[in-house]
Chains A and B, each alone.
Chain A
Amino acid sequence: MPLLELRGVAARYGPLQALRGIDLSVGESEIVAVLGANGAGKTTTLRAISATVKTSGEVVFAGERLPGRPEAVARAGIAHVPEGRGTFAQLSVDENLRLGAHVRRDRAGVKADYDRALERFPILAERRRQAAGTLSGGEQQQLALARALMQRPRLLLLDEPSLGLAPRVVADFFRVVAELNEQEGLSVLVVEQNARLALASSSRAYVLEVGRVAVAGASAELQRHESVRRSYLGY
């Protein structure tokens, strides 16, 4: 049984139908990518999972239907790093990290994870007392990821992590995600514009087109299919 499963999920913003019935799954310890052009419904797919948009259809996580409130979704074990990273610009790095662990009650575990986060991202340790808004784009992306990990999620949702970052910073970011996946078995659903990068770092991928799944399959397969690459991925 997959960790996350979407069955016939549709969503609309007012008169605009953003998703027209999506089927998608993420297995235990798997990295899955969602690709597609602007407006294809990538971000909405993530928002449908974390219930920040009204949806119809079924979203099942670890065998149970997800509740319809974002705070309850977070409590169920899903961490969502939204577009624009969703860090609290006016709060310090330290406070952002502590907020990540808001839903947890195990003090000792939180303390350990906090120390590990600062170990994994040394720059954050350096800027612990600084307001998050003063960090560079790459540092903020690290903070967003670190904060999501403080939640100790089973599934991580990443929305366009490469947006506005230098290629080297993006590569570092995806390396950390791959590490987390290998070492801790973290499942990841990542939405990306950069198809080449996303396919290289995922095991399976879905290509969306105007709110529907146009193609789905193993990332390696999709990379090899020249016609798929041309018509959907544009490289």
Chain B
Amino acid sequence: MVGAADWAGVAQQVVAGLSSGGTYATLAVALVLIYRATGVVNFAQGELAMFSTFVAWTLTQHGFSYWPAFALTVAASFGGGIALERVVIRPVERASVLTVAIVTIGVFFVVNGAAFWIWSPQVKSMPNAFSTRPIRIAGVAFSISDLGIIGVSLLAVLLLWFFFRFTKLGLAMRAAALNPESSRLTGIRVSWMIALGWGLATALGAVAGLMAAPPLGSFDQNFMQPILLYAFAGAVLGGIDSALGAVVGSLALGVFLNLLGTYVSWVGTDLRQAAALAVILGVLLVRPAGLFGQALVRRV
């Protein structure tokens, strides 16, 4: 029988899971954004987020406190994402999807290497974004940091949703992703819409990196790689063409991983990734286009 104390433990673990799931969700939405605009998974998404995090870390070393560094970094990442798209993605705009995907793998290596080159391989640590005190809700102690991360992640995704739903530019970006040909005929600069998508995705990635880094205590240049994997898995679980699906899939994955790590001891840390992916595979075999994805209409 599970006692009351254990239910409190489960609640704590669920919130902790939602917190890491929130980080995955933010990055997953970034992946969906670029997938919908260009049809590729951006393998460099995690490394770009890592790079942004290191930029913010540098700012905090130069007297900035966390939140000003956060704001500056997110803005700079937006510009950086646009610049990156113009330099390396635009030249392969008309090439096959696989070619573009390989370019993003190339960018992965460049960004990862550059971060090692610039910041040396020693581990870093980041000031906390939120108070480290716990807060008691209904008699259960929750970490303020976990709740804060959930809040910021959801806020970021929600802002993005508002942008796409209610602004002229957001509408044009959606149209460009749905039907580039018709969009051009109505005067939309499709190529710039794609660049803008990269900017937004990179900014969103910066949010993910900056939420993920402080709780780790110490991190190095590879810290985003498992998070990218989970974000990718979460996005695919939800259906890669649905932002809502990506959020739900990532949150579910975060909770699942946390409960798995806490309550199923034989899995251990080594097999955690494998177990998570195996479960997702199981889900996909039942629903081949993810939980929220639209089944592809196949053309002959």
* A11→B175 CA distance, assembly (Å): 28
Beyond known contacts A52-B184, A71-B189, A80-B185: 16 more, CB 8 A cutoff: A50-B185, A52-B185, A69-B184, A71-B187, A71-B190, A74-B184, A74-B186, A86-B179, A88-B175, A91-B174, A95-B171, A99-B186, A100-B186, A102-B172, A102-B187, A151-B186
Task: For B141, list chain A residues within 8 Å (CB).
Answer: none
Chain B CB within 8 A of A212 CB: no
Chain B CB within 8 A of A163 CB: no
Interface 0/1 of A56-98, CB less than 8 Å to B: 0000000000000111001100011010001110110001001
Contact assessment for B178 and A88 in the assembled complex, using a CB-CB cutoff below 8 Å: yes
Interface 0/1 of B172-195, CB less than 8 Å to A: 101100110111111111100000
Task: For A151, list chain B residues within 8 Å (CB).
Answer: 186-187
Task: For A103, list chain B residues within 8 Å (CB).
Answer: 186-187
Contact assessment for B168 and A88 in the assembled complex, using a CB-CB cutoff below 8 Å: no
Task: For B178, list chain A residues within 8 Å (CB).
Answer: 88, 90-91
Contact assessment for A70 and B172 in the assembled complex, using a CB-CB cutoff below 8 Å: no
Contact assessment for A88 and B182 in the assembled complex, using a CB-CB cutoff below 8 Å: yes
Contact assessment for B186 and A87 in the assembled complex, using a CB-CB cutoff below 8 Å: no
Find residues 213-234 in chain B having any chain A CB closer than 8 Å to their own CB. Answer: none
Known A-B contacts A71-B190, A86-B179, A90-B178; A99 and B185 likewise in contact (beta carbons under 8 Å): no
Contact assessment for A52 and B188 in the assembled complex, using a CB-CB cutoff below 8 Å: no
User: Among the listed B168, B181, B184, which residue makes an inter-chain contact with A98, where contact means beta carbons less than 8 Å apart?
Assistant: B168
Task: For A74, list chain B residues within 8 Å (CB).
Answer: 184-187
* A90→B185 CA distance, assembly (Å): 17
Chain B CB within 8 A of A147 CB: yes
How many inter-chain residue pairs (CB < 8 Å) link A and B? 57
Residue among A70, A74, A95 with max Cβ neighbours from chain B (10 Å): A70
Interface residues on B, range: 10 to 19
Complex A-B, nearest 7 residue pairs according to Cβ-Cβ distance, in ascending order: A74-B187, A103-B187, A86-B182, A70-B184, A80-B185, A71-B184, A75-B187
User: Among the listed B175, B181, B190, which residue makes an inter-chain contact with A52, where contact means beta carbons less than 8 Å apart?
Assistant: B181
Task: For B186, list chain A residues within 8 Å (CB).
Answer: 74, 99-100, 102-103, 147, 151
Number of A residues, CB within 8 Å of B? 23
Q: B-contacting residues of A (Cβ < 8 Å)?
A: 50, 52, 69-71, 74-75, 79-80, 82, 86-88, 90-91, 95, 98-100, 102-103, 147, 151
Residue among A86, A95, A102, A103 with max Cβ neighbours from chain B (10 Å): A102
* A102→B185 CA distance, assembly (Å): 11
* A74→B189 CA distance, assembly (Å): 10
* A70→B235 CA distance, assembly (Å): 34
In the complex formed, the residue of B with least CB distance to A147 is: B186
23 contacts between A and B (CB under 8 A): A52-B184, A70-B184, A70-B185, A71-B184, A71-B189, A74-B186, A74-B187, A79-B185, A86-B179, A86-B181, A86-B182, A86-B185, A88-B179, A91-B171, A91-B174, A98-B168, A99-B172, A99-B183, A99-B186, A99-B188, A100-B186, A102-B168, A151-B187
**Cβ distance B189 to chain A, nearest Cβ, rounded Å:** 5
* A193→B178 CA distance, assembly (Å): 29
In the complex formed, the residue of A with least CB distance to B191 is: A71
**Cβ distance A68 to chain B, nearest Cβ, rounded Å:** 12
Residue among B181, B183, B186 with max Cβ neighbours from chain A (10 Å): B186
Task: For A147, list chain B residues within 8 Å (CB).
Answer: 186
In the complex formed, the residue of A with least CB distance to B192 is: A71
* A75→B187 CA distance, assembly (Å): 6
Task: For A75, list chain B residues within 8 Å (CB).
Answer: 187
**Cβ distance A128 to chain B, nearest Cβ, rounded Å:** 15
Task: For B190, list chain A residues within 8 Å (CB).
Answer: 71
* A75→B183 CA distance, assembly (Å): 12
* A98→B185 CA distance, assembly (Å): 14
* A147→B186 CA distance, assembly (Å): 9
Task: For B171, list chain A residues within 8 Å (CB).
Answer: 91, 95, 98-99
In the complex formed, the residue of A with least CB distance to B172 is: A102
